[in-house]
């Protein structure tokens, strides 16, 4: 593998919100959450901050030891703000914890990041591939999957965000790049139109602003149309395209091209 470039495949990963790779840091999570949210340990308690009331949804939280920095653990927790009939407002909190001292090193709360309505959050997972974006500093990622519950119009997508830890400060570098998606409009038997997208992110050798390497996103797009014929279901039309986008660092973060920006 080239020292200054690597390829991370971002499709086909099993989303397992509560599964940890080769280690289990969930036993320490209650004490970490109590540090971040004093009073959390009291069952069914509603907490308050400058934005109002919220609930720590610990059973949906995830944690993972960071392979690039084994003395640190990564934690992601939903902070539920509002739950109504048909929609909810939820923040995403990201913590970096020192395994030796058991103290929180850095903390970031992204407001309304896990909001839902007809499209719900289906899973959250850490991506700890070695994203070497600036010098030897390694970023980590969080993937969020969403889906709807429609039979005739199913929808599913996974987005990737990248974060940097520097000088005990955690900040987002890349936000909500959709790396896989699928959708359809069909009769739930056979006839309909179907589409899928799957992307690969490449960290290039080109250095841009502030020394951050450019990213290259290669996207495979397929679409098909099926029809019921006699007693079989046949694909009557199918198209496949390859798209490519360069993603460069701006003043504070990577800027997504318009074609890749969330709606």
Pairing type for strands 169-186 and 155-166 reads antiparallel
Total domains present in the chain: 1
Distance, in Å, from the CA atom of 63 to the CA atom of 125, rounded to the nearest integer, reads 9
Calculate mean pLDDT across residues 218-225. 98
Q: Are 15 and 122 in contact (CB under 8 A)?
A: yes
Q: Are 105 and 163 in contact (CB under 8 A)?
A: no
DSSP 73: E
Q: Under DSSP, is residue 88 helix (H, G, I), strand (E, B) or coil?
A: strand
Distance, in Å, from the CA atom of 96 to the CA atom of 16, rounded to the nearest integer, reads 20
For 24, list phi and psi in degrees, rounded to 5: -130, 105
Q: Which structural domain, as residue segments, surrounds residue 121?
A: 6-252
| Residue 261 maps to a domain | no
Count how many Cα atoms sit within 13 Å of the Cα of residue 77 in the half-sphere of its side chain: 25
H or E stretch including 256? none
Q: In the predicted model, is pLDDT for residue 44 greater than 90?
A: no
Q: In the predicted model, is pLDDT for residue 237 greater than 50?
A: yes
| Residue 27 maps to a domain | yes
Distance, in Å, from the CA atom of 215 to the CA atom of 205, rounded to the nearest integer, reads 9
Tell me, what's the pLDDT at 206? 96
Tens digit of each residue's pLDDT (9 = 90 or more) over 95-109: 999 999 999 999 999
Distance, in Å, from the CA atom of 174 to the CA atom of 50, rounded to the nearest integer, reads 26
| Residue 260 maps to a domain | no
| Residue 257 maps to a domain | no
Q: In the predicted model, is pLDDT for residue 8 greater than 90?
A: no
């Amino acid at each position: 593998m080239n020292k200054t470039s690597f390829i991370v495949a971002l499709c086909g990963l099993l989303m397992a919100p509560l599964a940890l790779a080769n280690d289990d840091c969930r036993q320490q999570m209650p004490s970490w959450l109590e540090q971040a949210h004093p009073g959390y340990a009291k069952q069914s308690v509603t907490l308050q901050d400058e934005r109002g009331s919220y609930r720590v949804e610990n059973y949906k939280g995830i944690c993972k030891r960071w392979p690039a920095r084994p003395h640190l653990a990564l934690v992601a927790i939903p902070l539920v703000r509002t739950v109504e009939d048909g929609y909810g407002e939820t923040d995403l909190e990201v913590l970096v914890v020192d395994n030796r001292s058991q103290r929180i090193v850095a903390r970031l709360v992204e407001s309304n990041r896990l909001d839902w309505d007809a499209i719900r959050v289906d899973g959250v997972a850490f991506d700890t591939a070695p994203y070497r974006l600036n010098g030897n500093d390694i970023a980590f990622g969080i993937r969020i999957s969403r889906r709807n519950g429609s039979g005739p119009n199913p929808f599913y997508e996974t987005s990737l965000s990248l974060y940097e830890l520097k000088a005990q400060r955690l900040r987002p570098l890349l936000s909500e790049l959709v790396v896989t998606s699928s959708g359809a409009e069909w009769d739930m038997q056979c006839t309909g139109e179907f589409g899928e997208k799957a992307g690969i992110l490449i960290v290039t050798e080109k250095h841009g602003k502030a020394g951050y390497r450019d990213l290259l996103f290669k996207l495979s797009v397929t679409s098909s149309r099926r029809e019921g014929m006699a007693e079989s279901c046949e694909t009557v039309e199918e198209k496949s395209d390859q798209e490519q986008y360069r993603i460069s660092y701006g003043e504070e973060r990577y800027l997504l091209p318009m074609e890749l920006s969330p709606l």
